[in-house]
Amino acid sequence: MPSTRLRIAHIGLGDIARKAYLPLTAAHPGITPLLCTRNERVLEELAQQYRIKDTFNSLEALIASRPDGAMVHTATDSHIDVATQLLRAGIPVFVDKPVSDSLTATEELFALARRQNVALFVGFNRRYAPLISSLRNGPTPHHVSWQKHRVNLPGEPRTFIFDDFIHVVDGLLFLADGKPEGLQVHARMDGEKMTSLQVQWTANGGLFSGSMNRVSGCTEERVEFFAPGLKVQIEDLQSGVEYKDGQRKELGFGNWEPTLYKRGFVTMIDEWLEVVRQDEHSVDASRWDLRTHGMCEEILRRVLRG
């Protein structure tokens, strides 16, 4: 792969692409962004806003232009089809989480990436949030609690778990040291909609618990990390407090640090660019992603059974 700017395509230009990815890639010194959507109005609007020259109204036309990599931001139910076409064309793929709300379909896509020896990267930004990744590099936890709540947003169980609760699952697995054991699941339903979900498991002697209430009184995300002589509490990925041997220390960022850096998107994009430059499938990375999707599938199975 040459050291020049990488031609990185965005496929699907909805909310997450506009809020997180386009502002970063359009300003990145190592990227020449491309846009792809069937919506001509959106295509023209964003091309003008970000001064992007290369735009496409079909996936076939985009593939024919041979981008160095493609980022898939379309609806979850289209991820597999879009990513499959890109991988078969030999184009490295970044796909928003979840890859799919089906473990079988996700496994098949990773198997295709492996056969093609083409990179498949999943956008779990919390792994790259500085306050979270610092915990990963710290002492082995005795207990981690991850809460993520919303207001008046009950959901169908599969969508609830794979589109939203998957962040909690992936975050806990990321911080765990060892194989998850003894999974317990408790869900609360209102008719066909799930309103809240709590899970816990153990790994290497530590307890990992996650919860989501989607009929809460506020929208919030909180991580509490406990190790001998240490407690760290992180709020909304952007601020926190460390208590060490009875001493309190504020955790946070400088006034000029952008939100997308605090939430992990900046570091994740840089990691993705390295994956594109390497231009090969990573077995280790796929194990991480498949483990998260597999845990979500097992949680869903127990919710539906219960």
Kindly list the domain boundaries of the chain, sorted by start residue. Answer: 6-124, 127-265+294-305
Q: Do domains 6-124 and 127-265+294-305 have the same CATH topology?
A: no
Instruction: Report whether 183 contacts 201 (CB < 8 A).
Output: yes
Q: Which two tokens stand for residue 132?
A: 């979270």
C-alpha distances in Å from residue 145, one per residue of 20, 61, 211, 267? 26, 46, 8, 24
pTM of structure: 0.94
Name the 3-class secondary structure at 201.
strand
Nearest-angstrom CA–CA distance, 60 and 192: 39
Query: What's the fold here for domain 127-265+294-305?
Result: Dihydrodipicolinate Reductase; domain 2 (3.30.360)
Instruction: Select the CATH number that applies to the domain covering 6-124 from these four: 3.40.50.261, 3.40.1160.10, 3.40.50.720, 3.50.50.60.
Output: 3.40.50.720
C-alpha distances in Å from residue 33, one per residue of 8, 65, 210? 5, 13, 37
Nearest-angstrom CA–CA distance, 22 and 265: 11
pLDDT of residue 1: 40
pLDDT of residue 26: 96
From the first residue on, what is the mean pLDDT of each consecutive set of 10 residues in the chain (306 residues)?
80 94 96 96 96 96 98 97 98 97 96 94 97 94 97 97 98 92 97 97 96 97 97 97 95 94 97 89 81 98 93
Nearest-angstrom CA–CA distance, 214 and 192: 14
* Alpha helix positions (H), 51-137: 59-64, 79-88, 103-116, 130-136
